[in-house]
């Protein structure tokens, strides 16, 4: 990263920041990815980074680059979880934390309570990030209690001001997620070894028009709309295959069962394939004919849409929330009216017929720039403590 005059001064004084991020767990997902990325950037910049969560498989990534993990169950939605505020307060006092960054609602409540139990001179500065367009209520409002509020998109900022009008607009900083161009480079192609392995694992996809829907099996991802799109393409005589990449939540098995029953009713058993959770989504995007987002509820950002576009893949999504915002800026022809599966199928048919222009290289969503903005926010906020 580029040099920073303030950082140089911090290094000379020997006083660097201790930043603690709070989130429920480190199992995987968009919020977790952001946490891992900012952790690595903080360490690279010379700061101390600590992630407080219930733990998970990403703890290894946190610690591998020099970050620290403190395990505490702060994500459980129960009044008893608030008791963890006492343990968190003790940790914050002992660690001399400069900035406390809450990335989820229950952790934010626990973090806020812990800070209020500390002497004012010892309290860290508080940052919150609104990662999702959550239900509007007092519980969710805690994400507007930060001294600075990070919104991950302009539509997210608008959501905050519309639904919590007493929020001070000057506290909101819009920092969209970024993409690492070395990982999601335009025109990237998987290795021959990966392709061979993929083809051996999923031979039924060979020679077919593969439409990819990334996302865990939850209702808001719009899987039933996706099935409708695949059915329409099949009726047009297109040799389509619908590929669903995402894990199944044990708490939502009923939804998974209903989804599979619908596949049977539509006679799509040979046309829909589930891979479960995968770590090679980038490669899967590259070998898919097109990528779609059918989320029925507006999302605050739309990370997989941006990743797909960055790779140069034809990408289509409903024009609401962060997905619509990204498509409007990067690939306007990829926008589809919400719930209009016929329009979605028509655009995909044009891709099949080579009648639609592919996306151009993405600009304005650079990961390094996004991470620098967030760290500079920490440094500026904690400046009076240095």
Query: What are the tens digits of pLDDT across the range 181-209?
Result: 889 999 999 999 999 999 999 999 999 99
Backbone phi, then psi, for 176, in 5-degree steps? -65, 150
Distance CA 230, CA 26 (A): 34
235-244 mean pLDDT: 98
Q: What's the pTM value of the predicted model, to 2 decimals?
A: 0.85
Question: Domain for residue 312, yes or no?
Answer: yes
With contact defined as beta carbons under 8 Å apart, do 47 and 76 qualify?
A: no
Domain contains 313:
yes
Residue 227 has pLDDT above 60, yes or no: yes
Q: Which residues contact 187 (CB under 8 A, 6 or more apart)?
A: 311, 312
**Statement to judge: residues 43 and 128 lie in one domain:** yes
- Is the pLDDT score of 6 beyond 80? no
Residue 337 is assigned to a structural domain of this protein: yes
Query: Residue 184: inside a domain, yes or no?
Result: no
Residues 309 and 373 in one domain: no
State both tokens at 71. Answer: 């395990």
**What is d(CA 196, CA 215) in angstroms, rounded to the nearest whole number?**
24
Residue 323: CATH number of its domain: 3.40.50.2000
pLDDT greater than 50 at residue 325: yes
Handedness of CA 182, 184, 186, 191 (dihedral sign): positive
Cα 88 from Cα 129, distance rounded (Å): 19
Specify the higher pLDDT residue, 366 or 250.
366
Asked if pLDDT for residue 334 goes beyond 50, the answer is yes
pLDDT score of 3 more than 50? no
At 184, list the tokens: 């999601």
Do 380 and 280 lie in a common domain? Answer: no
DSSP H or E stretch at residue 112: helix 105-116
240 found inside a domain: yes
- Please check whether residues 75 and 147 belong to one and the same domain: yes
pLDDT of 34-90, one tens digit each?
999 999 999 999 999 999 999 999 999 999 999 999 999 999 888 888 899 999 999
Same domain for 345 and 372? no
pLDDT of 280 reads 95
- pLDDT band of 5, cuts 50, 70, 90: very low
pLDDT band at 115 (very low <50, low <70, confident <90, very high): very high
Q: Is 243 found in the same domain as 132?
A: no
* Whole-angstrom distance, CA of residue 71 vs CA of residue 39: 16
Residue-range definition of the domain harbouring residue 327: 192-352
What mean pLDDT is predicted for residues 3-27? Answer: 66
**Residue 385 pLDDT > 90:** no
Q: Please tell me whether residues 268 and 142 are part of one structural domain.
A: no
Mean pLDDT confidence for 163-188: 94
Contact criterion met (CB below 8 Å) for 39 and 66:
no
Q: Do 63 and 148 sit in the same domain of this protein? A: yes
Indicate whether 43 belongs to any domain: yes
Using the structure block, give the residue that is written with the tokens 């005589």.
Answer: 237
Whole-number pLDDT of residue 2: 34
Backbone angles phi, psi at 211, to 5 degrees: -110, 120
Q: Do residues 282 and 377 both lie within one domain? A: no
Report the pLDDT value the prediction gives residue 13, as an integer from 0 to 100. Answer: 38
Between 11 and 123, the more confident residue is: 123
Q: Name the strands in the sheet holding 335-336, side by side, starting at the edge strand that comes first in the sequence.
A: 272-276, 240-245, 209-214, 290-293, 315-318, 335-336
Provide the pLDDT for residue 340: 98
| β-strand partners of 211 | 242, 290
pLDDT band at 131 (very low <50, low <70, confident <90, very high): very high
Could you count the other beta carbons within 10 Å of the beta carbon of residue 212?
A: 25
The contacts of residue 277 (CB under 8 Å, 6+ apart) are 28, 216, 245, 246, 247
Whether 81 and 162 map to the same domain: the answer is yes
| CA–CA separation, 124 and 56 (whole Å) | 26
Is 202 in the same domain as 314?
Answer: yes
Bigger pLDDT: 148 vs 216: 148
- Note whether 219 and 128 are same-domain residues: no
Q: Is the pLDDT of residue 1 over 60?
A: no
How many domains would you assign to the chain? Answer: 2
Q: How confident is the model at residue 251 (pLDDT cuts 50, 70, 90)?
A: confident
Average pLDDT over residues 11-36: 82
Mean per-residue pLDDT over the chain, rounded: 92
Cβ-proximal residues to 235 (8 Å cutoff; 6+ apart), any chain? none
Residue 253 pLDDT level (bands cut at 50, 70, 90): confident
pLDDT band with cut points at 50, 70 and 90 for residue 247: confident
| Residue that has been written with the tokens 């898919």 in this structure | 288
Question: What is residue 34's predicted lDDT score, i.e. its pLDDT?
Answer: 93
Residue 359 lies in a domain: no
Mean pLDDT of 210-221: 92
Distance CA 151, CA 172 (A): 7
CA distance 385 to 172: 22
Cα 195 from Cα 189, distance rounded (Å):
10
Q: Minimal CA–CA distance to 24: which of 63, 56, 61, 49?
A: 56
CA 204 to chain centre: 30
Residue 331 belongs to a domain: yes
- Which residues make Cβ contacts (< 8 Å) with residue 263, sequence separation at least 6? 227, 269, 272
């Amino acid at each position: 990263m580029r040099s920073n005059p303030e950082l140089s001064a911090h290094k000379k004084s020997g006083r660097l920041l201790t930043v603690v991020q709070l989130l429920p767990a480190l199992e995987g997902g968009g919020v977790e990815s952001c946490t891992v990325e900012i952790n690595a950037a903080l360490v690279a910049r010379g700061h101390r980074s600590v992630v407080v969560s219930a733990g998970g498989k990403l703890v290894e990534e946190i610690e591998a680059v020099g970050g620290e993990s403190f395990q505490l169950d702060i994500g459980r939605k129960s009044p008893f979880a608030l008791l963890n505020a006492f343990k968190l307060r003790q940790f914050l006092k002992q660690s001399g934390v400069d900035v406390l960054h809450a990335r989820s609602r229950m952790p934010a409540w626990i973090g806020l309570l812990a800070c209020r139990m500390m002497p004012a001179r010892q309290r860290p500065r508080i940052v919150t990030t609104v990662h999702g367009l959550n239900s509007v209520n007092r519980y969710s409002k805690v994400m507007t209690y930060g001294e600075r509020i990070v919104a991950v998109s302009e539509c997210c900022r608008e959501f905050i001001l519309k639904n919590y009008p007493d929020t001070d607009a000057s506290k909101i900083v819009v920092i969209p997620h970024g993409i690492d161009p070395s990982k999601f480079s335009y025109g990237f192609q998987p290795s021959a070894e990966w392709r061979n392995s993929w083809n051996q694992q999923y031979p039924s996809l060979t020679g077919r028009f593969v439409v990819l829907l990334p996302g865990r099996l939850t209702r808001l991802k719009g899987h039933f709309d996706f099935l409708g799109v695949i059915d329409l393409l099949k009726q047009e005589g297109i040799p389509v295959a619908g590929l669903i990449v995402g894990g199944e939540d044990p708490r939502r098995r009923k939804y998974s069962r209903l989804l599979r029953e619908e596949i049977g009713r539509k006679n799509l058993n040979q046309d829909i394939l589930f891979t479960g959770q995968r770590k090679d989504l980038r490669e899967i995007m590259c070998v898919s004919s097109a990528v779609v987002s059918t989320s029925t509820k507006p999302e605050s950002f739309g990370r997989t849409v941006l990743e797909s576009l960055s790779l140069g893949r034809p990408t289509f999504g409903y024009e609401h929330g962060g997905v619509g915002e990204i498509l409007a800026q990067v690939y306007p022809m990829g926008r589809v009216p919400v719930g209009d599966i016929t329009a979605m199928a028509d655009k995909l048919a044009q891709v099949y017929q080579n009648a639609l222009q592919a996306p151009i290289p993405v600009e304005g969503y650079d990961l390094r720039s996004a991470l620098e903005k967030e760290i500079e926010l920490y440094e500026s906020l904690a400046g009076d403590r240095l």
